[in-house]
Structure 1
Amino acid sequence: MEKLIPLRQTELARLTRHRSGEIRFGEKMLTVPKTADPLSFMANCEARFVLFGIPEDIGIRANSGRPGAASAWQNALESIANLQHNRFCKGSDILALGHLDVAKEMQQAESFNFNETHDRLAISKLVQSIDKEVSHLIFSIVKAGKTPIIIGGGQNNAYGNIKGTALAKGRPINAVNFDSQSDFRILEGRHNGNAFHYAFEEGFLKKYFIFGLHENYVSKNVLQNIKKLENRVQFTTYDEISIRGEKDFDQQMKLALDFVSTDTFGIEIDLDAIPDVASSTMTYSGFSVAKARKFVHFFAKHRNASYLHICEGAPDLGDEKNKHLIGKLIGYLLTDFVKAQLSE
């Protein structure tokens, strides 16, 4: 965990807006003391959930997307620190671990030109180096008996989430992905559009369900590939549910849960599937915030749900006056997950 930058209590206190008569998450979330070993403290602390960030957008750049997702972690952390600690959800259930140090990789990525073949390969190698760090950290958290909550960053980090969990569990895991795109594209070098395909091919991902795929943005090649793997890779489209009314949202969630819950599974939430949320592939068409929250709650209630990953939000690409809204949205999704997990 040498690439981990631990979050200290003093930093959390600076982010917390203290108010008389109120108790905020920032006053109650646990942090690793300076003198403590992060692994040992994590394994022995009372918190059930471990929160950490991956402040990068290299996987997005490697897929010719607009950078900006690196800003989500700090934005989200400030919002989470200022949630109310009350009987509905308690900050003390969370260890705010810190974030991965990807500053060097981010600096290197700035100098690369995606349109140059050599540079594309170099960016993909940076993504691979981050993959190793993410999978190692996830492995450590799951092995310690805790539940990871990961704030991205791009969805390229789904690979590390899946691999780390699978290694800790000693077997492949399943995943459900609330997303407008499949992220099951060809194996052309690592980026945010093929994390699940790489995890699948390397034996870490057993079954995969894509929830809310946008029909306008899935290639014929991907559809043909998924069809060949239909016993292990399935999907439902946003258009089937919300436009043509051929399928019901709740029924499709149950179908997806039945598919992935036969074993340990991860919950992946791509914020670019929600309208008006600033991201590299921002959309005006998609499931509402309320639907996304309902989705997280529904899947998190199951005993086999093993982690939550919220990714692709990019406050730096949004309205300057309302950058805090993405952090606020992430805070809602995080508490929906925690409440559901503690109720199961």
Structure 2
Amino acid sequence: MENLIRFRQSDLSKMTAFRNGEVKFGEKMLITPKDEDIFEFLKNSEAKYVLLGIPEDVGVRANLGRGGANTAWESAIKSIANIQHNRFCKGSQIIVLGQVDTSQEMEAAKNLDENIPEERKQLFKITEQIDKEVSHIIYNIVKAGKIPIVIGGGHNNAYGNIKGTALGKGKSINAVNFDAHSDFRILEGRHSGNGFSYAFEEGFLKNYFIFGLHESYTSKNVLDIIKNISERVKYNTYDQIKIRQEKNYQSEINKAFEHIKNECYGVEIDLDALPNIASSAMTLSGFSVEELRQFVYQFGNHKNASYLHICEGAPSLGEEKNNHLIGKLIGYLVTDFIKGNSNL
């Protein structure tokens, strides 16, 4: 797999805090041996899950958002390495593949100003290049019979996840998105606000459910688009569930599940749906961490759950003394998904 920086055993050892009488994930997770073909190793391994980082924020900037999503992977893998390996969840179920090599794209985007139309178009093109790299790696993971757990980057990477999984499965897939935003904006050039609309338009995404839209931040245009394809694209709003209490949280999870469960599906998590979490579109109003954890566990608990993507977290935008907390939150979500899924 090109454009992949493989994780090494020494990388895991550096970030694992070893203690007598304890066994951490960092001591049990697998890495791909440098002298072995990655695809063959994945295919033959008994581990079910493959961790992949995407350290980029080009798509977020192309969508006129704040950068910083490139820092989530490093924070997350440090936290995951120090989770306790025990009977509740075992590190040996996980292969740490590594990270997409986005260094060239990040360098090319570094000095571009997204507020200048011509330079924003260049960011669209760079995001397209990241799409190709992500979809290729995801395709290989899925083709090898594994479940990708993708961490970091902007929500533009939903496109690569969906495309890669659909190609690996040989058919279009469904997706559920826990998000304050639809990411179903117009096809104006690739960015973090239209990953799902591009995947839908190109036939990789079949049914789509957006869970917890914020009514004040969803345009009339997007609502009109969704209304015209409401058999395949459905949603509820955060305001309906938590503010006006017209709908029940668990009932809405069940409804979303009914919409996607009959085909392979991806679970997409945008951390900007949680209040006070450092992200590109940080909010003060949103679902709780516990509600999100329940969501991830329940959607992981089905044989058609085909990948998990946790995006938009930006530790570099958080408090300096507590920027490890984004990684710790991601660690909880990863293990919640695995606990729901591992015995299927």
> What band does the TM-score fall into relative to the shorter chain?
over 0.9
Structure 1 residue 43 displacement after superposition = 1.1
- Counterpart of 2:342 in 1: which secondary structure? helix
Can you list the C-alpha shifts for 1:120-171, whole angstroms capped at 9, x where unaligned? 1110000000000111111100000000000020000000000001111111
Corresponding residue of 1:319: 319
- Counterpart of 1:155 in 2: which secondary structure? coil
How far apart in 1 are the matches of 2:113 and 2:24?
Answer: 43
Corresponding residue of 1:17: 17
Structure 1 residue 343 displacement after superposition = 3.0
Q: Quick one: which amino acid aligns to residue 61 of structure 1?
A: R
Structure 1 residue 193 displacement after superposition = 0.3
Corresponding residue of 1:183: 183
How far apart in 2 are the matches of 1:288 and 1:129?
Answer: 35
Corresponding residue of 2:86: 86
Can you list the C-alpha shifts for 1:286-343, whole angstroms capped at 9, x where unaligned? 0000000000011110111100000000000000000110000000000000010013
- Counterpart of 2:206 in 1: which secondary structure? strand
- Counterpart of 1:255 in 2: which secondary structure? helix
Corresponding residue of 2:168: 168
How far apart in 1 are the matches of 2:279 and 2:160?
Answer: 21
How do 1:204-223 and structure 2 match up within 5 A?
204-223=204-223
Structure 1 residue 39 displacement after superposition = 1.4
How far apart in 1 are the matches of 2:45 and 2:343?
Answer: 20
Percent identical residues: 61
How do 1:77-156 and structure 2 match up within 5 A?
77-156=77-156
Give the TM-score, by structure 1 length. Answer: 0.99
Can you list the C-alpha shifts for 1:65-85, whole angstroms capped at 9, x where unaligned? 110010000000000000000
Q: Quick one: which amino acid aligns to residue 50 of structure 1?
A: V
How far apart in 1 are the matches of 2:302 and 2:291?
Answer: 18
Q: Quick one: which amino acid aligns to residue 255 of structure 2?
A: L
Structure 1 residue 248 displacement after superposition = 0.2
Structure 1 residue 21 displacement after superposition = 0.4
- Counterpart of 2:222 in 1: which secondary structure? helix
Q: Quick one: which amino acid aligns to residue 258 of structure 1?
A: E
- Counterpart of 2:268 in 1: which secondary structure? strand
Can you list the C-alpha shifts for 1:221-249, whole angstroms capped at 9, x where unaligned? 00000000000000000000000010000
Can you list the C-alpha shifts for 1:101-137, whole angstroms capped at 9, x where unaligned? 0011101111111121211111000000000011111
Structure 1 residue 38 displacement after superposition = 1.4
Q: Quick one: which amino acid aligns to residue 333 of structure 2?
A: L
Corresponding residue of 1:231: 231
Corresponding residue of 1:38: 38
Q: Within the alignment, does 1:157 sit opposite 2:179 as a pair?
A: no
Can you list the C-alpha shifts for 1:230-283, whole angstroms capped at 9, x where unaligned? 000000000000000100000000000000111010000000000111001111
Corresponding residue of 2:55: 55
How do 1:176-325 and structure 2 match up within 5 A?
176-325=176-325
- Counterpart of 1:335 in 2: which secondary structure? helix
Give the TM-score, by structure 2 length. Answer: 0.99
Can you list the C-alpha shifts for 1:156-194, whole angstroms capped at 9, x where unaligned? 000000000111111110000000000000111000000
Corresponding residue of 1:70: 70
Unaligned runs of 5+ in 1: none
Measured on the aligned residues, the alpha-carbon RMSD in Å equals: 0.6
How far apart in 2 are the matches of 1:254 and 1:80?
Answer: 29
How far apart in 2 are the matches of 1:115 and 1:322?
Answer: 31
- Counterpart of 1:47 in 2: which secondary structure? coil
Unaligned runs of 5+ in 2: none
How far apart in 2 are the matches of 1:165 and 1:128?
Answer: 17
State the number of aligned residues.
344
How far apart in 2 are the matches of 1:190 and 1:137?
Answer: 19
Runs of 4+ in 1 over 3 A off after TM superposition: none
How far apart in 1 are the matches of 2:160 and 2:130?
Answer: 8
Structure 1 residue 285 displacement after superposition = 0.3
How far apart in 2 are the matches of 1:145 and 1:336?
Answer: 21
Structure 1 residue 2 displacement after superposition = 1.2
Corresponding residue of 1:6: 6
Q: Quick one: which amino acid aligns to residue 100 of structure 1?
A: V
How far apart in 1 are the matches of 2:61 and 2:267?
Answer: 24
